[in-house]
Amino acid sequence: MANGPRLALIAHDQKKDDLVAFAVKHADFLSACDLVATGTTGQRVADASGLAVRRLKSGPLGGDQQIGALIAEARIDAVIFLVDPLTPLPHDVDVKALMRLAIVYDIPLALNLATAEIVLGHFVAGLREGE
């Protein structure tokens, strides 16, 4: 595993292409990160970018909760979770629980691409400063 930031990657079905494109765009930086993702998202990111991604279960099958557990165990530094606000989610309760944990443990949580860019920029700046 890499020694960089520990990032969780999640995307709703309608946002998976956006997250894959984001990962490909930032593959050089992300290759230095420990990446964990929910099932299908992780596979798609790994296939498109060549990045090493530890895949958990699909979100509706417990993957969101697995990432929540990693947050509670202080094993995640930030979450990039591209949300589709226009599609109803049968596992909405799990999504809200994950968001709640990110808030409780003060973990950066990017819910769209603009915020994901800012979160990554924070880590890039920190590495430049030797953090």
Domains of the chain (ranges, CATH numbers): 6-94+110-128 (3.40.50.1380)
Kindly compute the dihedral angle of the four CA atoms of residues 103, 115, 8, 33, in this order, to the nearest 10 degrees. Answer: -120
**34-86 residue pLDDT tens:** 999 999 999 999 999 999 999 999 988 899 999 999 999 999 999 999 988 88
* pLDDT at 1 > cutoff 70: no
18 is known as an active-site residue: no
Dist. CA 119–CA 46, nearest whole Å: 20
Give this prediction's pTM. 0.92
Determine which one of 13, 34, 64, 77 is catalytic: 64
Decide: 98 and 64 in contact? Cβ < 8 Å: yes
Dist. CA 37–CA 30, nearest whole Å: 13
